[in-house]
Amino acid sequence: SQQGEEDPQALSIQEGENATMNCSYKTSINNLQWYRQNSGRGLVHLILIRSNEREKHSGRLRVTLDTSKKSSSLLITASRAADTASYFCAAGPNAGGTSYGKLTFGQGTILTVHP
């Protein structure tokens, strides 16, 4: 079964609105990462939050992490048409050993921002 689940599966908003995506995971983590995938392209790393952090900002992105609930959220403020893409969370296991780098991805949220 899949490790990560994202909610909602699809989100449609108008330019200028905020977009919030949620992610849940099942195992203990070292970090939680968010990636964006434009149609027909590879994934691009957006932001990483470590397990000892609760909130992190990067430009228009805000990520929160609640390790007690095994959940994270990604907020994109003042969205633009260019933000239209699929967004994936990825749970990063503790570093070291054979698990290092073994990201477990959620199924993604398809975000559509209408101009």
Q: Does 115 bind other proteins (CB under 8 A)?
A: no
Among residues 45, 54, 57, 114, the one that binds other proteins under rule CB under 8 A: 45
How far is 25 from 31, CA to CA, in rounded Å? 11
The two counts, helices (H) then strands (E), for the chain are: 0, 11
Q: What is the rounded distance in angstroms from the CA atom of residue 12 to the CA atom of residue 112?
A: 5
CB of 11 to other proteins, least distance (A): 15
Tell whether residue 101 is a contact of other proteins (CB under 8 A): yes
Q: Which is nearer to other proteins, 102 or 114 (CB)?
A: 102
Among 30, 64, 71, 77, binds other proteins (CB under 8 A): 30
What is the token pair recorded at 106? 């959620």
* Using rule CB under 8 A, residue 58 touches other proteins: no
DSSP type of residue 31: E
Instruction: Report CA dihedral (57, 101, 87, 43) to the nearest 10 degrees.
Output: 110
Answer yes or no whether residue 43 interacts with other proteins by CB under 8 A: yes
Q: List interacting residues with other proteins (CB under 8 A).
A: 2, 30-31, 33, 35, 37, 40-45, 48, 86, 88, 92, 95, 98-105, 107-108
